[in-house]
Structure 1
Amino acid sequence: MAQLQPEWPIITNAFTDLEHAGAVLREQVPRIANIPVPNNIAQIQAMLVAMEARLAASITGVRNDVTQLQNGLNARIDLLTQVVQVNELNGRARAVNASVKDELSPITPLVRSNGDQLPPGLFPATCGEFRALNGQRLTDLLQQYNLNVPAGAPLADRRRCLSQHCAVSL
């Protein structure tokens, strides 16, 4: 059987009629002992421990995500830095090459897209040597610079592609 709880409005109204007050208080006051006492400290502590564990796991996850993002951004920054350095080097080489008109004038090789220099002796030393490129040496230069020329393209088209890349006039 359910324990009866005190009825607070009845207790309040009992004080309007003092004769009735004693009887009401004798009936209602013992019921105060039936009010459930919130004694769930252990449950609250267990919930706090669980929340703390979830928060710690979430924080660890966020830290890992931030670390991954940071590593990805650092890799992209490194790549972009390399691209800028390659473009600066190749821009200077193209400026020198674009100003060369004489067949005997030296020309400057460009670096590859990864920043590496070409193998020694592959790039022609002079403008005249560049204009006379053909065969395997021309093919090797196109491949080194990752210039996509369709298979079987005429020699003039292959030279033009390389000359535009290196800014050497034909």
Structure 2
Amino acid sequence: MANSSTVNQAAQMEEMLRAMENGLSEKIIQSEQRMIARIDQLSGRVDRLEQTLVVNDMKALARTLNSSAICGAIPLYPLPLPSGAPIPEGQFPATFGDFRQLEGAPLLELLQLYQLEVPPVASLNDMLAILATHCGIAW
């Protein structure tokens, strides 16, 4: 009888241990899944930050190069659009002289592409100054 009772207790303890082990295994799996999701989320954030850094570097380089444009024949360098995409071919003036002659639809389109705010009563010179400031061009 005593032997049977001991076997019963051992079986009950073994069953309790299995239940605890299963519970722990489930918690470990859930914790691992949460960690994987967080790592994926962080990885996405790092990727976006890297892309932002690349775009900001491109903008800084273009602005630096544009800041030396002081006469008509000096080339200008377009900044990437706010999305990071390059500006469509031929829409950005090739030289400082071309920039100074911008007006009308081409100027308004550049202001819109770069998402620059322009006061409703802005003059041509005001609009050129807004674009020039954004692009690092001395105005």
TM-score range, shorter chain: 0.7 to 0.9
Separation of aligned partners in 1, 2:11 and 2:127: 81
- SS where residue 83 of structure 1 aligns? helix
The aligned amino acid for 2:134 is H
Q: CA RMSD in A?
A: 2.2
Say whether 1:154 aligns with 2:122.
yes
Say whether 1:142 aligns with 2:114.
no
> Normalised by the size of structure 1, how large is the TM-score?
0.70
> Normalised by the size of structure 2, how large is the TM-score?
0.83
Which of these two proteins has the greater Rg computed from alpha carbons?
1
Separation of aligned partners in 1, 2:118 and 2:16: 68
Aligned residue-pair number: 135
Partner of 1:47: 16
In structure 2, stretches of 5+ residues that fail to align are none
Which structure is richer in relative contact order (CA contacts within 8 A, separation 6 or more)? Answer: 2
CA contact (8 A) 1:82 1:114 kept: no
Identity of aligned residues (%): 36
In structure 1, stretches of 5+ residues that fail to align are 1-32
CA contact (8 A) 1:83 1:113 kept: no
Separation of aligned partners in 1, 2:33 and 2:121: 51
CA contact (8 A) 1:98 1:167 kept: yes
